[in-house]
A and B are shown apart, each in its own frame.
Chain A
């Protein structure tokens, strides 16, 4: 089955700086890669996703890049703000994330230092 590795487990950045979280996946058939943000005590929420036929996607301060050859994808957050502090999860799936389910990375605790 799919295996998703996520690094780092904890990331501390100064407010206003950029943050990068990296993930690798094992199954070359994976074709859908969402990112979730989970604030303390709350549910995971989808923040951005990318399909395997796209190399990069951007939404305001958040961007995701995908390298299918190397089987890795990354989340980039620019101009970080205190409200960006949370645990971020990458995930991968075949079948567009349908009945196959998502395999999640172990999460990155992002801390924004004021």
Chain B
């Protein structure tokens, strides 16, 4: 079983559309994240949830809205997609306490045309 799974793996869509990316972890972790990796490979945090509660909301356009129905799931909905949203989006999770690294999902490559 994949520890952190994301769907879809690839997403090609037109400007102005609305799309969602789903993430599920079966590790029992309390904290989940969304990271954006741009074309230069830079990884930047977007959101952090701890036990379904939003903890971090970096400077991200409000077209991006995360939703956590339970602590095993963290979805990302994007409205009115723009060309600059094209990137790889990674979901990640970690135990809520202690010094632990993240487990990343396999990523969703979003291409806006």
Interface residues of A (CB under 8 A from B): 31-32, 34, 36, 38, 42-46, 49, 51, 87, 89, 96-104, 106-107
Contacts and interface: CB of A to CB of B under 8 A. Distances in A.
Nearest to A36: B101
What class of interface size applies to chain B in its complex with A?
20 to 34
B106 A107 contact: no
Contact of A98 (B41, B44, B94, B107): B94
B100 A42 contact: no
B41 A43 contact: no
Q: Which of B33, B41, B44, B101 has the most CB of A within 10 A?
A: B101
Nearest to A42: B106
Given A104-B43, A107-B41, A99 B106 contact: no
B40 A97 contact: no
Given A44-B90, A46-B102, A96-B97, A102 B45 contact: yes
Interface of B: 31, 33, 40-45, 48, 50, 55-56, 90, 94, 96-107
B43 A44 contact: yes
A96 B99 contact: yes
A67 to B, nearest CB: 19
A103 B100 CA distance: 14
Contacts of B41: 38, 87, 106-107
Given A98-B94, A99-B50, A104 B44 contact: yes
B96 A98 contact: yes
Contact of B45 (A43, A45, A89, A101): A101
B56 A101 contact: yes
Given A46-B102, A100-B55, A104-B43, 19 more contacts: A31-B99, A32-B99, A43-B104, A44-B90, A44-B104, A45-B104, A87-B41, A89-B43, A98-B31, A98-B96, A98-B98, A99-B31, A99-B55, A99-B56, A99-B96, A104-B42, A104-B44, A107-B41, A107-B42
Contacts of B90: 43-44
Nearest to B98: A96
20 contacts: A32-B99, A36-B101, A42-B106, A43-B105, A44-B43, A46-B101, A46-B102, A49-B99, A51-B99, A89-B43, A96-B99, A99-B50, A99-B96, A101-B33, A101-B45, A102-B102, A106-B42, A107-B41, A107-B42, A107-B43
